[in-house]
Structure 1
Amino acid sequence: MTDYMTTTTELPPYFFFPWFLLDMGLTLTAKLAYALLLDRARLSQLNGWTDEAGRVYIIFPIEKIAEMLGKSMTTAKNVLAELEAAGLIERKRQQFSKPNHIYVKLPDGQKFSRP
């Protein structure tokens, strides 16, 4: 059974989907992945995960990204490549056996208010 939402309804956990993604020529899976990565970046920001230049990074294994998206490892890799080509993320290799850092980027001049 489902209930109607009221002014006092407690909402389930969710993450934000940036409005600017709607206008970008990305696959739907890439848009969803970006929203997921942006949510993780917010947590890294709150926890102070920054590099020597003060840039926030996330550590998010491809296996976990694929699992959360309900997609294959190949699709997850392709989506990360799509986001990197669009300039929305940057991946930095770390030393041997250390996980890569993913930097989530925001488009230049982007306004963050609703249309």
Structure 2
Amino acid sequence: MKSSYRFLKVPLCLFSDSYSQLSVEAKILYAFLLDRLTLSEKNGFLDEDGSVFVYYTNSEVCRTFCCGSQKATRLFRELEKYRLINRRNQGRGKPDAIYVNQFEESPNSLFKNNDNQHSGVMKPHILECGKSPPINTEYIHTEDSHINLSISYNVVKEEIMEQIEYDVLAQRDFGGVLEEIVSLITDTYCSNESYVRIGKREIPIATVRQRLLMLTAEHIEYVINSLERNTTEIKNMRAYMLTSLYNSIDTLEADGLYGN
């Protein structure tokens, strides 16, 4: 008798030593994305280069895995870190376009990346129709006179980039705002001032530094998405972003807790 069950196909190589640090849930999510890829091909979800993309939102991941939004974001970032997917930010509340990288038959090559075999790997370009509106960076700048010269600026910047998984975030279509955020965090950490203004409060630099060291890729992504959703005029982008970064430690946790 023919079975009426549907099954997910999980590539066995995901259980090799090369992917030993990839969580089982991330591997299962990849299988769901592969399954969705077939549906997208049938529905003609193609970009201008003919590459297939899928839609699979954080909300869907939360329902499938019975988890919060923070964990859903973390699973996507795991897959990005291992270059199993690429996500293109479409801005203004639109879901990300997800390109699913597929495996070669040969164990010596993981992905199909040549021009004759479309793997769905995202091309390094921005589609005009999905381009996010630019974020005004007019007021973002580095004031060298406030930099603490006893701290190695370049060392701090490298450590911040590693801390927030910059290489993973750089695969997203965030434009120049990601670079501005890295510079802002580094400038603030290296500040020679005793206090830093966060919103309407003057907070000791030691406290601010401690909070900045708690930032992860999830917080950066959360702040950028919040900036894109903002519809009010921002007079001082630098101050606004710093306040958003500082507060994201609490607001992201609250959103995850209440499923916002």
Equivalent in the alignment of 1:17: 10
Tell me, yes or no, if structure 1 residue 60 matches structure 2 residue 56: yes
| Counterparts in 2 of 1:44 and 1:67: CA distance versus 1, 3 Å | same
Deviation of 1:18 (Å) = 1.5
Q: CA RMSD in A?
A: 1.6
Offset of 1:104 from its aligned partner?
0.6
Matches within 5 A, 1:1-115: 8-23=1-16, 24-25=19-20, 26-107=22-103, 110-111=104-105
Identity of aligned residues (%): 31
Counterpart CA distance in 2 for 1:76 and 1:69 is 8
Shift of 1:95: 4.0
Aligned CA distance change for structure 1 residues 97 and 74 (closer, same or farther; 3 Å): closer
Deviation at 1:102, TM superposition (A): 0.7
- Distance (Å, rounded) in 2 between the aligned partners of 1:11 and 1:22: 28
For residues 46 and 98 of structure 1, the distance between their equivalents in structure 2, rounded to whole angstroms, comes to 22
Per-residue CA distance 1:64-90 (angstroms, 9 max, x = gap): 112112222111110100000100000
Deviation at 1:97, TM superposition (A): 3.0
CA offsets per residue over residues 13-38 of structure 1, 9 Å max, x none?
22211122121221101000100111
How far 1:98 moved relative to its partner?
A: 2.2
Say which SS state the counterpart of residue 103 (structure 1) adopts.
Answer: strand
The runs of at least 4 aligned residues of structure 1 exceeding 2 Å deviation read 95-98
Structure 2: 5+ residue runs without aligned partners? 107-260
Change (3 A) 1:95 1:71: closer
CA distance in 2, matches of 1:95, 1:66: 21
Name which one, 1 or 2, has greater alpha-carbon Rg. Answer: 2
Alpha carbons of structure 1 residues 95 and 72: separation in structure 2 relative to 1, 3 Å: closer
Q: Secondary structure at the match of 1:42?
A: helix
Q: Which has the higher contact order (CA 8 A, sep 6+)?
A: 1
Indicate the structure with greater helix content: 2
- How far apart, in 1, do the equivalents of 2:84 and 2:39 lie? 18
TM-score, normalization by structure 1: 0.81
Question: How far is 1:9 from its partner?
Answer: 4.7
Whole-Å Cα distance in 1 between the matches of residues 94 and 26 of structure 2? 25
The 2-side partners of 1:13 and 1:106 are apart by 21
Q: Cα distance, 1:100 vs. partner?
A: 1.3
Q: What is the aligned length? A: 103
